[in-house]
Amino acid sequence: MKIVLYSFGFKHGYPEADVVLDVRFLPNPYWVAELQGGTGCDPQVALYVLNNDGGRRFLAGAEPFLRFLLEEHQRKGREQLTLAIGCTGGRHRSVAVTEHLRAYLTACTFTPEVYHRDIDKE
């Protein structure tokens, strides 16, 4: 089964996807001067987004949910599942979560394709 992970910013439009996760509740690096210019691919930005109580709790629920969802769709013969993860602008939080989920799914023997639609937008 083809798995597509897609980060995006809600302010740039809503994507077409099978599942959409809104991660705007996570801490926003945009408001931290030394992190604002980075992206969720930068380790220090990803740590800021995910290494806190909300981030850890989110991942603790999202990881088993996502694995269950993918295994069930795969078992039913589904050819593709697209998961879109959104934050406000699509540079920091959604990218950090998408990259974390890429690593998690890869460790679970899935091979997701990853796209960061809005990472270069202002």
CB 101 within 8 A of CB 49: no
SS3 50: helix
* Domain ranges, ordered by start, for the chain: 2-116
Range 22-45 average pLDDT: 98
Top-confidence residue, 11 or 122: 11
Range 29-33 average pLDDT: 97
Q: Tens of pLDDT along 38-82?
A: 999 999 999 999 999 999 999 999 999 999 999 999 999 999 999
Percent of the chain past pLDDT 70, that is, above it, reads 100
Q: Which two tokens stand for residue 10?
A: 């809600």
- The answer for 86, left when phi > 0, alpha when psi is -120 to 50, beta otherwise, is beta
